[in-house]
Amino acid sequence: MEKFLIAGLGNMGPEYAGTRHNAGFEVADALVIKHKGTFRSARLADMAEIRVRGKILTVIKPSTYMNLSGKAVKYWMDKENIPPERVLVIMDDLAIPLSRLRLRPSGSDGGHNGLKSIQELIGTVNYPRLRFGIGAPYPKGFQIEFVLGKWDFVEIPIVKKKIEKSVEVIESFVFRGLAAAMNEVNNLEFLN
């Protein structure tokens, strides 16, 4: 059975629930709920294993905090013997507008500390990532407050649509491949 690692990035703890920085956790939760899985506390992450049409998806939400996400990703890649091309990391991205999702086969960390940690620990930038746009409509010097802030009331309908689409994108990645999944999502715009 082909195995995949799906890593939704975020920060553990009730104070971070519903924040923009936890978009990856929200997508991981939605994927596991859709496939009737359950997260359990495991090494360096909350982990759920779901089996879908002959594929095994190990879904993790690292418990290491965002800046050390690489520890959890590396551990689960090694434990499950999953190569980088079958890993999909989902995280928030300030450089992409709220109305967009962007799936890429590789790339720089773009200043994202979670990606920086992953790249340092797995030793490559060549792993797929789904960037969940959160935009950057904050005053200079308020990036941390914005990223760790909760979704605004007006953002929630778009966020819900994007979470739903993100789950479909993950399924496309697993069953149809990266190129097909990229074609499906990269030109979409999500509006209220």
What tens digit of pLDDT does each residue of 28-74 get?
999 999 999 999 999 999 999 999 999 999 999 999 989 999 999 99
Ordered by start, the domain boundaries in the chain are 2-185
Write the pLDDT tens digit of every residue in 92-124.
Answer: 999 999 999 999 999 999 889 999 999 999 999
1 versus 176: the higher-pLDDT residue is: 176
Per-residue pLDDT band at 156 (split at 50, 70, 90): very high
- Using a pLDDT cut of 90, give the percent of the chain over it: 92
Computed over every residue of the chain, the mean pLDDT equals 96
Instruction: Give the pLDDT of residue 139.
Output: 83
Q: What is the 3-state secondary structure (H, E, C) of the chain?
A: CEEEEEEECCCCCHHHCCEHHHHHHHHHHHHHHHCCCCCEEECCEEEEEEEECCEEEEEEEECCCHHHHHHHHHHHHHHHCCCHHHEEEEEEECCCCCCCEEEECCCCCCCCHHHHHHHHHHCCCCCCEEEEECCCCCCCCCHHHHHCCECCCCCHHHHHHHHHHHHHHHHHHHHHCHHHHHHHHCCCCCCC
Instruction: Give the pLDDT of residue 10.
Output: 97
Instruction: Give the pLDDT of residue 133.
Output: 97
Q: Which CATH class is domain 2-185?
A: alpha beta
* 35 classed as catalytic: no
Per-residue pLDDT band at 75 (split at 50, 70, 90): very high
| Closest-CA residue to 26 (of 43, 39, 9) | 9
Per-residue pLDDT band at 136 (split at 50, 70, 90): confident
Per-residue pLDDT band at 192 (split at 50, 70, 90): confident
Instruction: Give the pLDDT of residue 126.
Output: 97
Catalytic, out of 4, 19, 21, 47: 21
Per-residue pLDDT band at 138 (split at 50, 70, 90): confident
Instruction: Give the pLDDT of residue 148.
Output: 94
Cα 159 to Cα 17: distance, rounded to the nearest angstrom: 14
Instruction: Give the pLDDT of residue 1.
Output: 87
